[in-house]
Amino acid sequence: MTTVLDPYEIRKDFPLLATGVIYLDNAASSQKPRQVIEALTRFYETKYANIHRGIHRLSREASEVYEKAHETVARFINARDWREVIFLRNTTEAINLVAYSFGLGTLAEGDEVIVTVMEHHSNLLPWAAIAKKRKARVKVVGLRGYTLDYGELELAVSEKTKVVAVTHASNVLGTIIDARRIARLAHSVGAVCLVDGAQSVPHMPVNVNELECDFLAFSGHKMLGPSGIGVLWGRKDLLEEMEPFLYGGDMVKEVRMKDGVVNASWNELPWKFEAGTPNVAGAVGLAEAVEYLSRVGMDNIRSYEESLTSYALRQLSEVDGVEVYGPKPEQRCGILPFNVKGLDPHTVAAILDQKGIAVRSGFHCAQPLHEHLGLYEGTVRASFYLYNLKEEVDTLVQALTEIASIAEKASSPVE
């Protein structure tokens, strides 16, 4: 395996990995490097104050740090303007913002929102809810093998389409989709394209200009950052047109009350969409995480994960009784869903846990995809990040070989 980054060196930055756990649940959330943990502590110990609300030095400095975090994230995804970067809690909140602020304001009866069968519930349920309110329709595009059926998508898009909302990388199959092709298709009928980057932004270079999309959502906790901070990037002209999502302090420029009637005008971007006291420390941690990832290099992370995934796929394909799903390594991110014959996914995950290996089991918030694939009990999912090792894959493969062989013996008829 060609090493484009040194995972042994990287691991030294992650205190939790020193406990010995084999952490293969990175698609759910990543571990945090010391640099991020220390940045949070430093901020709380020396710089903490609320932002935009005080004349005092601490508040001014915290405001500056918070704004700089937007700039850091904007650079990371190559956004033209840091004001297009909105800090929210997570991907889920970012998609809900677009569904409510853009969808509710734009969709009319008979309009269509197109999603794929691979969507995480977070990129399905908000659209279903808004479509219902507006008597619009959610159209679901299926798969061809383990990747998106682009032909079906081309047929599905029409002048009724107002939004195409797609996952950039499936959190179950790992399938990476051609987001630019989809954005261009959406634009050809005047629709907007939202890309759910929860599983792509942490693992590969993502450039919003190259994607040509209109919105991109992702979560800090999946990319070495703290929990409770996520990002919506949006095209400035669209964000400026949209109504706020949440109302309250900081998102407002001026509020007047006359004869019991309240009149308000909205603050400029991104504050218009960041109502109330934001997660200031979270933003500091996210900026530190982004700096960390940039130092390692997103191309290096992508190459390393691709080779680790190829290795794992090769090894697992030789284990009798283990079935692995998903496309070829070059078409997927470091996500490996599988099942062991004769055992349900939770039992497999519980046995792996006893062996010190953390994986996820169940539907991974993508139940329609599992049903589409006929996987009615779900799957076990191992997912990698820049600090995982080939040796950890070997331990997983060894454990699954034992589990599959015991399951096989248990199901064989007694002679």
- Interacting residues with ligand PLP (CB under 6 A): 27, 90-92, 120, 122-123, 167, 171, 196, 198-199, 219, 230
Give whichever of 198 and 308 is closer to ligand PLP, judged by the CB atom.
198
In 5-144, beta strands by DSSP E: 22-23, 85-88, 112-116, 137-141, 143-144
Give whichever of 199 and 315 is closer to ligand PLP, judged by the CB atom.
199
SS3 324: strand
Structure tokens given for 307: 């080779």
Shortest spacing between CB 175 and ligand PLP, in angstroms? 11
246-249: list long-range contacts, CB under 8 Å, 24+ apart.
Answer: 246/273, 246/275, 246/276, 247/275, 248/275, 248/276, 249/275, 249/276, 249/277
Give whichever of 134 and 203 is closer to ligand PLP, judged by the CB atom.
203
**Cross-strand pairs, 207:** none
**Cα separation, 271 vs 334, whole angstroms:** 35
Q: How close are the terminal C-alpha atoms of the chain, in Å?
A: 45
Give whichever of 106 and 122 is closer to ligand PLP, judged by the CB atom.
122
Give whichever of 62 and 281 is closer to ligand PLP, judged by the CB atom.
281
Shortest spacing between CB 56 and ligand PLP, in angstroms? 34
Shortest spacing between CB 360 and ligand PLP, in angstroms? 9
Shortest spacing between CB 143 and ligand PLP, in angstroms? 15
**Cα separation, 65 vs 204, whole angstroms:** 26
Contact between 131 and 107 (Cβ < 8 Å): yes
Give whichever of 90 and 315 is closer to ligand PLP, judged by the CB atom.
90
Q: Write the single-letter amino acid at 348.
A: V
The 10 Å CB-count burial string (b at 16+, else e) for 268-301 is: ebbbbbbbeebbbbbbbbbbbbbbbbeebebebb
Nearest one of 168, 165, 91 to 335, comparing CA atoms: 168
Give whichever of 27 and 185 is closer to ligand PLP, judged by the CB atom.
27
**Cα separation, 389 vs 97, whole angstroms:** 37
Shortest spacing between CB 338 and ligand PLP, in angstroms? 18
In 145-241, beta strands by DSSP E: 147-148, 161-167, 192-196, 215-219, 230-234
**Cross-strand pairs, 232:** 86, 217
Shortest spacing between CB 150 and ligand PLP, in angstroms? 19
Q: How many CA atoms lie within 13 A of 275 on its CB side?
A: 11
What are the DSSP calls for 235-290, one per residue?
Answer: -HHHHHHSPPSS-SSSSEEEEEEETTEEEEEEPPTTGGG--SS--HHHHHHHHHHH
Contacts of 206 (CB under 8 A, 6+ apart): 77, 168, 197, 200, 216, 298
Give whichever of 200 and 315 is closer to ligand PLP, judged by the CB atom.
200
Instruction: Show which residues are catalytic.
Output: 365
Rg (the chain; Cα; Å): 23
**Cα separation, 204 vs 217, whole angstroms:** 15
